[in-house]
Structure 1
Amino acid sequence: MKHIVDTEYKDGMAFVSKVNGHDIVIDAVAEVGGQNLGPRPKELMLAALGGCTGMDVISILKKMRVEVDYFNVKVEAEMTEEHPKHYNAMHIIYQFKGKDLPLDKLEKAINLSQERYCGVSFVYRKAMKLTHEIQILN
C-alpha cells in the first residue's frame, strides 16, 4: 500500500498539505518568516504518535469492554541543540479518568499498541528513545 500527501507552498513559510481529503496548514513563526497560520512540522510528528497510539488504545479497551470517562495522550519530546535539530527522545503520557479502571487492562492495551499495532511508534523507536507512563486522573 502506498500513501501520498501533497504539500503545496502558499506564501511566506506557509504550506498546505492535503491528507485524506483534509487540508493541514503548516507554517512557521514570524521570527523566521512565517505567519503562525498552523503548526510546525516537527510538532506534527508528536500529533501523529499521539493519534496513532491513542486510536489503538481506545479500540483495544473497547474490545476489552473497559469504559473510560476521559482519555488523553500527551507526547513530550526532547530536541537536540545542534542542526539538524531533531527529536532524540519522546515520552508518552496516557491519561485516564473513570470509575474503577482496571490498571492491568490499561497496561495491556498500551503495550499492545506500543509493541504490535502503532506503526508510528515502531518507526520512531528505531530513531530515538520512546518511553511511556499511565496517569489515572481524579
Structure 2
Amino acid sequence: MTKVRINETHASTYSVAIEVGAHSLIGDEPADKGGLDLGPSPYDLLTSALGECTAMTVRWYARSQGWPVDQIEVRVTHEKRGRQDVFTKSVHITGDLLSDDQRVKLIEVASKCPVQRTLLASDTAIETVPDIDVPAQNRA
C-alpha cells in the first residue's frame, strides 16, 4: 500500500507539501493557473509517474533477460483533447549489442508498465471519505 500525505503550505494559492515514504516535495500550479509554479502540478506528477514506471519496467525486463541495455530515456507528454486525456510516450533505448528483436520486445514491454495499466483500467476505483479524526467544523 502506498500512503501519501498532502498539506497546504500557503506559499501560494495552491502549493502543497507532499510526503511519500521518506521523500518530501512541493506541488503547485503554474502561474497561469493561479499558483506560483513552486513545484510540479498534479498532471506533471502523473505524467512523471508514467514515465518513471515505463523506464523502470523496461530496465527490470532487460535485467531479467540479461540483455545489454546501456541507457533508457522516456519522454512523456500529456494533453487534453476535448474531454480525453492523451499521454504520448517516446522510449529511447541505448545498447549497441541489442538485436532488433530485443528492441521490439522492450518497446512492447514499455507499454505494459503498472502505472499505464492503472490509467487504462476500467475497474479502477477512487473512494473519497472524510477523515474521522478531524472535527466537522474544520472539514472543507
Residues 29 and 80 (structure 1 numbering): CA distance in 2 closer, same or farther, change over 3 Å?
A: same
Consecutive unaligned residues in structure 2, runs of 5 or more: 123-140
Paired residue total: 120
The answer for the alignment partner of 1:122 in structure 2 is 117
Consecutive unaligned residues in structure 1, runs of 5 or more: 128-138
Instruction: Give the % identical residues.
Output: 26
Kindly name which structure, 1 or 2, has the bigger radius of gyration based on alpha carbons. Answer: 2
Residues 83-121 of structure 1 show CA distances to partners (whole Å, capped at 9, x for unaligned) of xxx652222111022213223223323434534xx2211
CA RMSD of aligned residues (A): 2.1
Contact kept? 1:77, 1:87, Cα under 8 Å: no
The answer for the alignment partner of 1:18 in structure 2 is 19
Contact kept? 1:14, 1:34, Cα under 8 Å: yes
The answer for the alignment partner of 1:55 in structure 2 is 56
Contact kept? 1:72, 1:96, Cα under 8 Å: yes
Inter-partner Cα distance in structure 1 for 2:96 and 2:55: 20
Higher RCO, Cα 8 Å, sep 6+:
1
Q: Give the structure with the larger strand fraction.
A: 1
Residues 112 and 71 (structure 1 numbering): CA distance in 2 closer, same or farther, change over 3 Å?
A: closer
TM-score, normalised to structure 2, is: 0.73
Structure 1 counterpart of 2:103, which letter? L
